[in-house]
Amino acid sequence: MSYNKKVAYFYNPEVGNFHYGPGHPMKPHRLSVIHSLVLNYGLHRKMQIYRPYRASTHDMCRFHSEDYVEFLQRVTPQNLQGYTKYLSHFNVGDDCPVFDGLFDFCSMYTGASLDGATKLNNNCCDIAVNWSGGLHHAKKFEASGFCYINDIVIAILELLKYRARVLYIDIDVHHGDGVQEAFYLTDRVMTVSFHKYGNYFFPGTGDMYEIGAESGRYYSVNVPLKEGIDDTSYIQVFKPVISHVMEFFQPTAIVLQCGADSLANDRLGCFSLSTKGHGECVKFVRDLNVPLLTVGGGGYTLRNVARCWTYETSLLVDEQISNELPYTEYLEYFAPDFTLHPEVVTRQDNANSKQYLEAITRHVCDNLKMIQHSPSVQMQDVPCDALPPEEERQPEPDPDSRQNPQDTDKIVEPANEYYAGDKDQDKMDTNDS
């Protein structure tokens, strides 16, 4: 059966140029490395490529407080002295530093998620991909865990204009606390987070007894895991939990946060997943055939994040790619093996027993049975899209060019297209001279 999902990929060439500061584990540069791999594997031919919308202060204030967004817009490393009294108030400092272009960075990654949600709402694509997004810790009034603006919450609010129920799935090693908190009291968004919990691991939330409140009771699902979990154990709990969630909640859109700090040997993580195990979760969600917004998140060993999200891009477009990495300007990052799926050498034992995982799965499934039925929404006028029409956002095409980049980026190569490059079967005509 042919794969006919339309995939929209959002990438701003400038988003990888920002720098949190020397020694900081969050490296936006990883986004440039991923995009280079996507291009050199030829995956861009299987997707529509969009230079995304930039979110405005108005877009950000749909979730965040005005004074917090205004602070982010005005503060710079040069004028930091004048904002000293606000730093602790907005939790800006060591983990969430002020760096050059901070507001521009927030505007780019948030705008891309918002653009993806709008494209899904208007049925322009089946899957939207924004690896620069997924900053799930940001709160209404403050920054947290390297996250300033919660692009996920803002994208979900946009999806809710058209979609009765949105499911949020988080496979980052850290609990998706900012998204859970935002929707803790509603039954229209179900949040499901698989994460390390215990021993004061950041952010310290995500106990299995955090289940939501008021109208949202039983609509927050937490799967607390112990260190060292491997592919087999993770899949053992992931697939049944998501299957039960789909059965009881019946979402009309899904947002999947693919934090890659759950991979083995991450600088800040403590799980033992391989890129294939992580990707198995993405493939499982893809195959649910529900409109899907896929975003990035954590991931602090740059070469492994790049491998993971490149591989998952190939899964989303259903294209098999070689284990041997193509030549790119960043190839030395992947020494000594230069492969997409290096052998996983784990540093710690799996502390998750089969019995422990079965108990968690049983607990989650029992809670889901408390939901009477998937919630419905009364008929109402649909608010207008947050974004202006795309034709108004694009620059004027070059009159001297036959094809402008905006048009060529949206061309998706059909499955029966001739191969380009090494796989090309065309032979030079011997009569040509």
DSSP codes of every residue in 175-187: --HHHHHHTTT-S
Residue 263 in this model has a pLDDT that exceeds 90: yes
DSSP one-letter code for 147: B
Q: Assess whether pLDDT exceeds 90 at residue 382.
A: no
- Residues comprising the binding site for a divalent metal cation? 172, 174, 261
Structure tokens at 166: 């949105």
Tell me the pLDDT band of 429, cut-offs 50, 70 and 90.
very low
Q: Which range (274-278, 371-375, 393-397) has the least confidence? A: 393-397
Residues 232-246: pLDDT tens digits? 999 999 999 999 999
Which run of H or E residues covers position 159?
A: helix 151-159
For the chain, helix, strand, coil in percent to 5 are: 35, 10, 55
Q: Which domains does the chain have, with CATH numbers?
A: 7-375 (3.40.800.20)
327 in Cβ contact with 40 (< 8 Å): yes
Cα distance between residue 115 and residue 377, in whole Å: 24
Query: Which amino acid is located at 310 in the chain?
Result: T
Q: What is the pTM of this model?
A: 0.90
Residue 89 designated active-site = no
Query: b/e per residue, 201-224, with b = 16+ CB within 10 A?
Result: bbeebbeeebbbeeebebbbbbbb
- With tokens 């979990």, the residue in question is 229
276/231 Cα distance (integer angstroms):
8
Going across the sheet that includes 253-257, the strands are 48-50, 7-10, 127-130, 292-295, 253-257, 166-170, 189-196, 220-225
- Alpha helix positions (H), 293-401: 302-316, 354-368, 390-393
- Confidence band, pLDDT 50/70/90 cuts, at residue 386: confident
In this prediction, what percent of the chain has a pLDDT beyond 70? 88
C-alpha of 377 from chain center: 27
- In DSSP terms, 167 is beta-bridged to 190, 254
Q: Which residues contact 432 (CB under 8 A, 6 or more apart)?
A: none
> Which residue out of 137, 175, 195, 278 is catalytically annotated?
137
425 CB-near residues (< 8 Å, 6+ apart) = 418, 419
Q: Residue 126's closest CA among 287, 239, 297?
A: 287
Is cis: bond before 414, omega within 30 of 0? no
Query: How far is residue 425's CA from residue 65's CA, in Å, rounded to a whole number?
Result: 58
Q: Is the pLDDT of residue 269 over 80?
A: yes
Kind plus residue range of the DSSP H or E element containing 49: strand 48-50
Cα separation, 189 vs 211, whole angstroms: 12
The reported pLDDT for the residue numbered 209 is 95
Which residues make up each annotated binding site? 95, 145, 172, 174, 261, 300
How much is the average pLDDT of 13-32?
97
Minimum mean pLDDT among 22-31, 295-304, 399-408: which range?
399-408
CB atoms within 10 A of CB 243: 13
Whether pLDDT at 144 is above 70 = yes
- Residue set of the binding site for substrate: 95, 145, 300
* Confidence (pLDDT) at 384: 73
